[in-house]
Amino acid sequence: MSKPITEFIEKYYLHFNAAALVDASKGYVAHLKEGGKMMITLAGAMSTAELGKILAEMIRQDKVDFISCTGANLEEDLMNLVAHSHYERVPHYRDLTAQDEWNLLERGLNRVTDTCIPEEEAFRRLQKHIVEIWKDAEAKGERYFPHEFMYKMILSGVLEQYYEIPRENSWMIAAAEKNLPIVVPGWEDSTMGNIFASYCIKGELTATTTKSGIEYMTYLADWYTKNSAGKGVGFFQIGGGIAGDFPICVVPMLYQDMEMHDIPFWSYFCQISDSTTSYGSYSGAVPNEKITWGKLDITTPKYIVESDATICAPLMFSYILEN
């Protein structure tokens, strides 16, 4: 089997963050080969960065067992799927004036660094169909997690009429087809979460139709308890924030609050982050700090790649897929 990425990075990535990238990739491969499971957490705008092109293949090849992501990453993969040709790239975004930004707003373009998401073709296309699914569930007295509602929409086929990228490039399609476990902490802080809230305010939906963050934690606790035997569960964190902070806490919660003193620590840890280590910055904290919080063991393999995840994650996933 040809392994061009493996050969390239093992030849040239020899020191500093480059070497950390190789070590972490090898650790990921070893963890899976020894029977371990892996959680990936997605912060930032990874879906708008089109990480789905390779993350989808990671999911299809069973290199991922659980995903924690922000509501933005959950929905923006589908936005890219249904509205890709309407996106606009702004490579000179650093030079934009306040008036330039206002002009983008008036055109219905919401900017994420150098990429503008079109409101009408992206947000509203999803809204049209997801609202029907929300209301149908409520009418039946059913309740689901945010990602389960998205899975229902994908698997129903109602979005296929809009597909503008190959379906194999969507990590959400891959996840829906696998029924991959997902937690979406802070979903309310997403466009679809805001839209759902607006329907609740108007009296057309009830907040409890969508399951809560507390229910996500209990869902994760149940999954972790059932899957942490043997080699255990690894934690591959892209970025910082709630996507990583929320799920990593399940271990100390089970150990300290549930008094399950035989619960294993996370058995692999890697974070790709460009956050500067500073006073009180959890996203920039070195992995050893997590030992004091009962999340990682002294012996847990720990890696931190201080770089841009849009550059590093595709390389690491390519290495993992080749090996």
The pairing of strands 115-118 and 88-89 is antiparallel
The pLDDT value recorded for residue 96 is 98
Question: Which of these, 157, 151, 86, lies nearest to 122 by C-alpha position?
Answer: 86
Q: Is the pLDDT of residue 284 over 80?
A: no
pTM over 0.75: yes
Q: Locate tokens 């992206």: which residue?
A: 122
Q: And the tokens for 308?
A: 């841009």
Neighbours of 135 (CB within 10 A): 14
pLDDT digits (tens, 9 = 90+) for 145-189: 999 999 999 999 999 999 999 999 999 999 999 999 999 999 999
For 86, phi and psi rounded to 5 degrees?
A: -95, -5
What's at 95, amino acid-wise? D
Q: Which of 309, 282, 56 is nearest to 170 (CA)?
A: 56
Helix axes 191-201, 71-83, angle to 10 degrees: 100
Residue 238: the pLDDT is 95
DSSP 34-101: TT-EEEEEE-TTTTTTTTHHHHHHHHHTT--SEEEE-HHHHHHHHHHHHHGGG-EE-TTGGG--HHHH
Looking at residue 123, what DSSP letter applies? I
With cut-offs at 50, 70 and 90, classify the pLDDT of residue 285.
confident
Beta bridge partners of 224: none
pLDDT at 194: 97
Are 211 and 143 in contact by the 8 Å Cβ rule? The answer is: yes
pLDDT digits (tens, 9 = 90+) for 194-230: 999 999 999 999 999 999 999 999 999 999 999 999 9
Instruction: Tell me the pairing of strands 233-238 and 268-272.
Output: parallel
